[in-house]
Each structure stands twice: as structure tokens, then as C-alpha cells.
Amino acid sequence: MNTTRCLHPYRFIQALAIIAGAVAGIVLSAPDLSAGEVPLELSTRSHVTGDGKVTIALTVKNPGREPLFHIHPMFHFHHMMSHMPMIHRLDPGQSVTLENKKHPPVGSVGSYPVVAMVSYKEREKTTESHTRVHTDSFYFEEPMASKIDGTIRVEANEETSRIKVLLKNPSASFKNIRMMLLLPPELIADRFQGMKGLTLRSGEEKYFEVPVRKVSGLAGGVYPVHLLVEYGELLKHYSGDIPGQINFGPVIEQGDTWPQMLVFAFLAVTLSLVFYRRFKALNSA
């Protein structure tokens, strides 16, 4: 027998284990392509009359391949929330436009923030809901963008997080700003409720941290964070939005792991048969 062609059983098992481990790593660590898809598209269109009355149209669209259920839109206007009619089902490709006329009238020339927060469910008979946050702005007579620069960094673990905010006033005048930290319902900031005031002198920087926690029992995932900044100056209104996100770890749902495990099992069995037949052929030669 030609020993150069003989594959020792130990080598066969070792090679099979290496390939099986590689396949497992590729299958289980590969990103889910569907995770990059936007499950719910939101867009707004605003109209302001000459006397400051505001109408905001919200368009909700399902760009996915599965229906969505119990879509509940809300608008956030400073200190109030305006609930809109619930959409019980949104089929793939379907879109619905709702109008909201409950925004308080505006009197000062300038820009104002628009925030739409929409919760929805991916299955009709489930208690788990998701939230999409959409920010926009409208202006009355003339747009006025905030001159306050800012960044949001996040230090997060599985349950709690610290939002680290840095604000800077590069302009030549001081600014008395009002801030609102906008979080989806899954997150809670106990020390930052409602509007917060802050004065920034010309060229001044200010740094602060906000503890944020995830509602107990909810799955991990990436959640949006928005710090809305507004101020008045020379009878004009300025607004800006500083975005960020918190990653509380991957979402692991039992039902979602089965397709990957089935693929891995199929590949492992196939490779085992191929290597076993090859092993027998080499040893019988």
C-alpha cells in the first residue's frame, strides 16, 4: 500500500473539526442581511400659514416583504405629545399619510423641530413592539439653523449606558439654549426629563453625561438618540438636532437562530460524508 496516500484517522478527524468550526463561524457570525433593511420608512411634510398655523403630514411606508401591525404614530411638540390614529395593518409596499394640525401656532421667525415617534409590531399576535424615530424641521418665514455645535458619544453595556454630550458655541454671542433629550420608549433617562436650560458664552464648551437605562426585559439592539437644541435671538427662533445611537448588544431571538443552525447542520453533514468517502478511498488505494 502506498503510505503517502494514506490519511490517518486522527488527521481526518482534526481536519473535519477545523472545517466544521470555520463553517460555524462563518454561518453564525455573518451579519443578517435583513438587519440592514429599514422596516418602516417615515417622512414628514410641513405647511405653515401666514399667521403661524402649522399642519404636518406624516407618511408611513412599509418597504419590507412582510406586513407590519399596530402602527401607532405620535408627534412630539415641545412639552406635549400628539397621538395619531393607529394603523392596524400595513402590507408590503403600502403607505399611509396622516395629517396633524395640533402643533401649537408659531409666532417668531425661524426654524422649529419636528419629531415623529412611531411604534409598530412585526407580528400581529405578539407583545413585542419596535420604535422608529424621525426628526425633521420646518420654518416660519425664514429658516434659522442652530449655530451650536455638538457631539454625542455613548458608553454602554447590556442594561445601562452613559450618554456623553459635548456642546460648543463658536459664535460671537452668548446663547441661552433649551435642550430636550429624545429617546424611544424602550429607553429611560431618569435625570433628563423634559426641557433643560443651559447658557453658552461665545467660544465656550460644556460637557455633561446622562445615565440611560433600558426597560427591563427588553431585547438588546441599537436605539436612536436625539438631542434637540433650540434658542431665541433677536426675535428669531433657531433649532438644531444632534443625533447619536446606543448599542445595547445584539438582538437574540430563539426563533431567529434556527435557519442558521439548519444551514450549519446541513454543511457539517455534507462535509462529513465527503471527507469520509475520501478517507476510505485513500486508505483502500
| Domains assigned to the chain | 3-30+264-284 (no CATH), 39-143 (2.60.40.1940), 145-252 (2.60.40.10)
Which stretch of DSSP H or E encloses residue 200? strand 195-200
Structure confidence at residue 177 (pLDDT): 92
Give pTM, 2 decimals. 0.67
Give the number of C-alpha atoms closer than 13 A to the C-alpha of residue 69, restricted to the C-beta side.
9
Residues forming beta bridges with residue 198, ordered by sequence position: 177
Quote the Cα angle for 40-79-133, to 5°: 15
Structure confidence at residue 224 (pLDDT): 84
Rg (CA), the chain: 27
Q: How far apart are CA 112 and CA 237, in angstroms?
A: 7
* pLDDT by position in tens, the chain (length 285): 444 445 455 555 555 555 555 555 544 444 443 334 568 899 999 999 999 999 999 999 999 899 999 999 988 876 677 888 999 999 999 999 999 998 889 889 999 988 898 989 988 887 778 888 888 889 999 999 899 999 999 887 666 788 899 999 999 999 999 998 888 878 888 888 778 889 999 999 999 998 888 776 666 677 888 898 999 998 899 998 998 888 776 544 444 444 555 555 666 667 676 666 766 666 666
**Helix, strand, or coil (residue 67):** coil
Structure confidence at residue 44 (pLDDT): 93
Structure confidence at residue 200 (pLDDT): 93
Which stretch of DSSP H or E encloses residue 281? helix 254-284
The grid cell for 143 is 429658516
Rounded alpha-carbon distances, angstroms, from residue 281 to 4, 5, 277: 13, 9, 6
